[in-house]
Amino acid sequence: MANDNKKTAGKQRLGTLFVISAPSGAGKSTLCHQLLHKLRGLKLSVSYTTRPPRKGERNDVDYTFITQKKFKNMISSGEFAEWAMVHGNLYGTSLKRLKKLTKEGYDIILDIDVQGAMQIKKKCDNAVYIFIFPPSMRTLKQRLLNRGTDSKDIVDRRLEKARAEITGYKNYDYVIINDKLEKAYKELEGIIVSNRLKAENISDKQIKSLIK
Ligand code: ADP
Ligand code: 5GP
Determine which residue's CA is closest to atom 18 belonging to ligand 1. Answer: 27
Query: Class of 4-45+106-210 per CATH?
Result: alpha beta
Instruction: Convert the pLDDT of each residue in 33-48 to its tens digit.
Output: 999 999 999 999 999 9
pLDDT band at 206 (very low <50, low <70, confident <90, very high): confident
pLDDT number for residue 125: 84
In this model, does residue 3 exceed pLDDT 70? Answer: no
Higher pLDDT residue, 1 or 40? 40
Parse the chain into domains and list their residue ranges.
4-45+106-210
Atom 10 of ligand 2, nearest CA residue: 113
pLDDT band at 8 (very low <50, low <70, confident <90, very high): low
Q: Please, which residues have CB within 8 angstroms of residue 125's CB and are 6 or more apart in sequence? A: 1, 2, 3
pLDDT tens profile 174-200: 999 999 999 999 999 999 999 999 998
Whether the Cβ atoms of residue 127 and residue 17 lie closer than 8 Å to each other: yes
210 CA → ligand 1 middle, Å: 42
Distance from C-alpha of 17 to C-alpha of 106, rounded to nearest angstrom: 9
CA of 174 to the centre of ligand 2 (A): 19
Q: What is the per-residue pLDDT for 5?
A: 39
Distance between CA atoms of residues 118 and 68, nearest Å = 23
pLDDT of 149 reads 83
